[in-house]
Every structure is written in structure tokens, then in C-alpha cells.
């Protein structure tokens, strides 16, 4: 078995004991990247030479007794929205084709401090403005989307190149690619992890977090990323707990909310069935299933899009005036359309968001977490990104994919995507667990119990070519 095939914990143990070196681990990741990258094109920039140099430094540190912990010497992929000092950071846009930051983003700096080794920057939908990543392929079937906007990160983890990749989540952009690529994706509570040094899509909806191969790894990485940062106005000054403490305690007595609305309309039957079986698995482990009605459900998406489009247009205002031709047609249209949002509409959306947050707080008085599908369908074809529903409606993938993930952005609640099963066609299907504010440990505990009851978490995609792809 190759080193890239092992779990992060297994690799970390081998590094800690000296059985393998960070150089060997990094080289294994780079070899896997070379093997699969022509098919999935998950990376914008590969930093192979720098990675091997850092790996050699990590090897010397560990040999000298300066072991930093389980992330020391572990390869890392970073979404190309995150600033990386001296390394091209383009946001997958011609607007920033030559952008080389002089400082690292807060999250990257913290993971460097933990000893992680950057192997490359991963593809994103331009400026994260979309729920697909047109420049990357799904590792389970390269003719299909890896989701977005953190599609490159999802593909890189799903293909086994790295154990960890960073993403950002404004309307689901960590959980969507995690869901369709068959990996774990964790969006923490709004304010838990600093967004300083990360290009913004919508400042009051943006979150940063990890995509990993299993639930424990997500908690481990979030612990390293979290903490107060005065450079991020939304950052919350509160202690960072050990997210892995109690992760194996089980779910006996945990109240699992099962939504009777919103997450039930226009969903592929296989996805609905997988969510039901996930709930039943948790019930067999002692959880208590509680049917709940999602409050103010009809307002969630209007609020999400009114806030997102207005804030995105404000962020890109100078570029829209000075170099609009450097946007793709799709994103330029969205940015220009956002300027039509009236100030009164934006303010009303912000006020209504507060009402939604209060209503969800009331809902959580009867449950501990909410369990729902992550996305309404398996990965769509890159050539035909539309969903045709039984009620006769046709929905684009960006709308469909973000529809079920947006509530956790509007409310700011922590959400965890966990792989659950594979479709009859061999494509990943996952579920998301949404928790109370700053209760990431709870959703990790439930997610861990769910992954232990299945055999799909941690699988590495074979990365099929277009000619042999799943149909």
C-alpha cells in the first residue's frame, strides 16, 4: 500500500515514530498528483519543489525532537482564494492572474505552524461565485462536476492526492464538493475560524474550513485553524475546545432532527433513501429521531441570494469599473446583476436573516442536531448541469446544489458533510449534520458515529478517464 492510501492518523504515527519521513510522505502525494492530475485538473499551481524543501525541514525538526503534533509533515492542498506568501493566488480569475501575495492567510499560517506542507493551490469557480468548478473533474467520473466552488479541493482529497484541503463556504462551497466527491467537509460556526487573507464572496456569509478523508481529521484540522483574529471583524473571541474530545462517545440520547419540509422537495429518490437509512443507522445506535419543520423555509434562499449578490458586487465594484472584460461572462453577469439590488432590499434581507436565525434557535430547543441530504442529487454532468424534477421544473446545478446547504450559511450554524453511500451508478451520496452555534464537537461526534456504521468514508476514487467513466 502506498503512503497516500493510508489515513492521516496512520501516516502521522509513522512520521512520529520515524518509520517514514515527511519527505517520503510528500513525494507520495506528488506522485499521486502526477498520476491523476491530467484527468481531474484539480490544481491551479503545484508547489512540488517548495513542498519537498519544507518536508526536509520538517524531517530535521522531528529528528531534533521538535515534533509539533499529528499534522507535522502532512501534505496540504489550499483553495486558490487563500493568500499564500510568494505563491500565485489567482482566485481562478484573470482579474488576479499575476497576484503573488506577500503574506499568508490566517488559516494557512496556522496550518504551517502546525507543520503542514503545501503541495499546491486548488481550482475554484471564479472568485467562488458558483456551485460547480468548470476547470476540474470529479475523481469518481471526470465527465461530472466535482461541485464547487471548492471543487479542486474536493477532487484532490477524493482522488487521494492530499489528506486535507482547505475550502470556503458561502452557500455550501465546502459541503457541496465534499458531498459529490465522497469526502468529509466541515463548515464551522460563523466567526470560529479567521477569514483574513481569503478573497471574499460575501463577507457576512463566508466561512472557511477543511475537506478531509474522515471526520476525525476534520476536527483535528479545524482545531489548528480556529481562534480569534482581530483582522477578521466577524471573528469571535472565545476559547478553542478540543474538537476530538468525546468524539467516540456515541449518540445514545442525542436528538436528531429530521426535517419534514424544505429538504424533501425536488430530491433524487436515491438521495432521499440514503438520508433515511443514515437516520435509521443513528437510531439503532441509540439516537432519538425527532421530526421538525424548518421555520421560514420559503425565505432562506431569497435572503441568501439578496445578501450574497449585493455583497459580492460591492467587493468587486472596482474591478467591474476598471477591467470588466477580465471576468468570465458568467461571473461578470452575476456581479453586474448584483448592482441592481436596492439598498432597501439588502437591509430587509439582513433583517429577515435575523428572524430566520431566531426561528432556528427555537427549533433547536427540541433537537441537538439536524440531519438532511447535503445536495439533492449526485454529481451532474459537466456538459449538462441541469436537474429535471418530477414537478416539471428544470434547475441548474448551482441553484440545486446550494439550495440545501444555504440554510447553514444564513444561520451561521456549523455543518458537517459525511459520505453515506454510493449510488447505483457508483457516485458518492452524503448527508449533512447541522448543529447549534459553536457546537462543532456535537456534529463531529454524530458524524463519527455515522461513518463508523458504514464502509464508505475514506475511500479513494480510482480516477477513471472520460472513455471509461461511469454513465
Strand-pairing partners, residue 370, are 257, 434
Please say if 173 is a catalytic residue: yes
Q: Give the Cα separation of 324 and 237 in Å (integer).
A: 38
**What DSSP string describes 165-228?**
EEEEESSSTTHHHHHHHT-EEEE--TTSB--TTB--S-TTT-EEEEEESSHHHHHHHHHHHBS-
Among 28, 107, 149, 405, the one annotated catalytic: 149
- Strand locations in 47-197 (E): 75-79, 117-122, 164-169, 184-187
Please say if 436 is a catalytic residue: no
Please say if 91 is a catalytic residue: no
Among 21, 79, 93, 168, the one annotated catalytic: 79
Among 107, 173, 200, 235, the one annotated catalytic: 173
Return the C-alpha cell found at 164. Answer: 486535507
Q: Give the Cα separation of 255 and 247 in Å (integer).
A: 16
**What DSSP string describes 313-357?**
HHHTHHHHHH-GGGS-HHHHHHHHHHTTS-HHHHHHHHHHHHHHH
Closest CA to 290 of 268, 260, 270: 260
Contact 453, 441 (CB under 8 A): no
Q: What is the DSSP letter of 4?
A: G
Strand-pairing partners, residue 77, are 120, 165
Q: Give the Cα separation of 380 and 387 in Å (integer).
A: 8
- Please give the positions annotated as active site: 79, 149, 173
Amino acid at each position: 500500500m502506498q503512503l497516500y492510501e493510508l489515513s492521516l492518523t496512520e501516516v502521522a504515527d509513522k512520521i512520529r515514530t520515524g518509520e517514514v519521513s515527511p519527505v517520503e510522505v510528500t513525494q507520495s502525494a506528488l506522485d499521486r498528483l502526477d498520476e491523476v492530475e491530467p484527468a481531474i485538473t484539480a490544481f491551479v499551481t503545484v508547489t512540488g519543489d517548495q513542498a519537498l524543501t519544507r518536508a526536509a525541514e520538517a524531517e530535521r525538526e522531528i529528528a531534533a525532537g521538535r515534533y509539533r503534533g499529528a499534522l507535522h509533515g502532512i501534505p496540504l492542498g489550499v483553495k486558490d482564494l487563500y493568500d499564500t506568501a510568494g505563491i500565485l493566488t489567482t482566485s481562478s480569475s484573470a482579474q488576479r492572474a499575476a497576484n503573488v501575495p506577500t503574506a499568508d492567510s490566517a488559516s494557512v499560517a496556522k496550518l504551517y505552524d502546525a507543520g503542514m506542507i503545501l503541495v499546491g493551490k486548488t481550482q475554484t469557480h471564479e472568485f467562488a461565485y458558483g456551485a460547480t468548478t468548470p476547470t476540474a473533474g470529479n475523481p469518481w467520473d471526470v465527465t461530472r462536476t466535482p461541485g464547487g466552488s471548492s471543487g479542486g479541493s474536493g477532487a484532490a482529497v477524493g482522488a487521494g492526492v492530499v489528506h486535507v484541503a482547505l475550502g470556503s463556504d458561502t452557500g455550501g462551497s465546502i459541503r457541496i464538493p465534499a458531498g459529490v466527491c465522497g469526502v468529509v467537509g466541515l463548515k464551522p460556526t460563523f466567526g470560529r475560524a479567521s477569514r483574513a487573507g481569503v478573497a471574499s464572496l460575501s463577507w457576512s456569509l463566508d466561512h472557511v474550513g477543511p475537506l478531509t478523508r474522515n471526520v476525525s481529521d476534520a476536527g483535528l484540522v479545524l482545531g489548528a485553524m480556529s481562534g480569534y483574529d482581530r483582522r477578521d471583524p466577524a471573528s469571535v473571541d472565545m476559547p478553542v475546545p478540543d474538537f476530538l474530545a468525546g468524539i467516540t462517545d456515541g449518540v445514545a440520547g442525542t436528538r436528531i432532527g429530521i426535517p419534514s419540509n424544505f429538504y424533501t422537495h425536488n430530491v433524487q429518490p436515491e438521495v432521499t433513501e440514503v438520508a433515511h437509512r443514515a437516520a435509521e443507522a443513528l437510531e439503532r445506535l441509540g439516537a432519538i429521531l425527532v421530526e421538525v419543520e424548518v421555520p421560514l423555509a420559503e425565505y432562506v434562499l431569497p435572503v441568501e441570494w439578496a445578501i450574497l449578490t449585493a455583497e459580492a458586487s460591492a467587493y468587486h465594484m472596482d474591478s467591474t469599473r476598471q477591467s470588466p472584460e477580465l471576468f468570465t461572462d458568467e461571473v461578470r453577469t452575476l456581479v453586474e446583476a448584483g448592482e441592481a439590488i436596492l439598498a432597501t432590499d439588502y437591509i430587509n434581507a439582513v433583517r429577515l436573516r435575523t428572524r430566520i436565525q431566531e426561528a432556528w434557535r427555537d427549533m433547536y430547543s427540541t433537537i441537538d442536531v439536524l440531519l438532511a441530504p447535503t445536495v439533492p442529487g449526485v454529481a451532474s454532468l459537466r456538459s449538462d448541469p441541469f436537474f429535471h424534477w418530477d414537478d416539471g421544473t428544470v434547475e441548474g446545478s448551482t441553484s440545486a446544489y446550494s439550495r440545501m446547504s444555504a440554510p447553514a450559511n444564513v444561520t451561521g450554524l456549523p455543518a458537517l458533510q459525511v459520505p453515506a453511500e454510493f449510488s447505483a451508478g457508483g457516485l458518492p451520496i452524503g448527508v449533512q449534520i447541522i448543529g447549534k452555534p459553536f457546537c462543532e464537537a456535537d456534529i463531529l461526534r454524530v458524524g463519527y458515529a455515522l461513518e463508523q456504521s458504514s464502509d464508505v468514508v475514506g475511500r479513494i476514487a480510482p480516477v477513471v478517464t472520460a472513455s471509461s467513466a461511469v454513465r
